[in-house]
């Protein structure tokens, strides 16, 4: 921070100028914007480097021509723009072929133990009835855990009992803090 009226160097171009504000660091708006552009370029370079390390390459087979290709996008089904155009032109034909090649996994129901074909990836129950039964079980276990948690919490003593204990120990009601501190010291030491 510079004093108002002092001569300081511009952080961008190095030119000396008279500070008009305490927080001034650049001689002009042009220098300020130039420095901001450099900062943004550095930031974009760093974030792009991080992104490129995170990207996963998927090996696929084109649904139109059958050629193997690599893609970074999960939903890419075609190897080129030409095949993509063909796919969009005959959309129903290729979607049916894609669906025919896919076989959904078989899973075991967590409620009744029956084997079923999972139409969705996160399905764990074979029927709506089993799903409702599972929801009831989950709700019961949640309620049980919550009631146990409530039961474990210590309930504070009523104030009248504390005042009676204080009088028995020889403390006056206005010495409540002193009494509680002594109780704490006795319990922890």
Tell me the whole-structure pTM to 2 decimals. 0.32
Residue 111 contacts residue 134 (beta carbons within 8 Å): yes
**Domain spans, the chain:** 7-54, 58-101, 106-152, 159-188
Between CA 105 and CA 118 the distance in angstroms is 6
187 has a pLDDT exceeding 70: yes
Lowest mean pLDDT of 4-13, 41-50, 57-66, name the range. Answer: 41-50
pLDDT value, residue 129: 93
64 has a pLDDT exceeding 90: no
Lowest mean pLDDT of 36-45, 58-67, 88-97, 113-122, name the range. Answer: 88-97
135 has a pLDDT exceeding 90: yes
11 has a pLDDT exceeding 80: yes
Burial of 79 (0-12, 13-18, 19+ CB in 10 A): buried
Give the mean pLDDT of 87-111: 68
Between CA 69 and CA 31 the distance in angstroms is 47
Please enumerate in sequence order all residues whose Cβ is within 8 A of that of 5, keeping only pairs 6 or more positions apart, or say none: 18, 19
Q: 38: left (phi > 0), else alpha (psi -120 to 50), else beta?
A: alpha
């Amino acid at each position: 921070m510079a004093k108002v009226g002092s001569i300081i160097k511009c952080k961008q171009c190095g030119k000396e100028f008279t500070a008009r504000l305490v927080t001034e660091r650049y001689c002009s708006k042009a220098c300020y914007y130039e420095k901001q552009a450099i900062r943004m370029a550095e930031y974009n370079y760093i974030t792009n480097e991080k992104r490129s390390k995170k990207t996963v390459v998927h090996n696929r087979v084109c649904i139109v021509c059958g050629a193997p290709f690599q893609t970074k996008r999960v939903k890419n089904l075609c190897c080129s723009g030409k095949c993509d155009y063909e796919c969009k032109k005959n959309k129903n034909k290729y979607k049916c072929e894609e669906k025919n090649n896919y076989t959904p996994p078989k899973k075991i129901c967590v409620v009744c133990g029956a084997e079923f074909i999972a139409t969705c990836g996160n399905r764990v129950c074979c029927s709506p009835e089993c799903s409702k039964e599972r929801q009831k079980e989950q709700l019961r276990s949640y309620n049980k855990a919550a009631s146990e948690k409530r039961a474990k919490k210590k309930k504070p003593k009523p104030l009248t009992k504390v005042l009676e204990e204080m009088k028995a120990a020889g403390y006056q009601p206005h010495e409540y803090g002193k009494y509680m501190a002594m109780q704490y010291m006795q319990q922890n030491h």
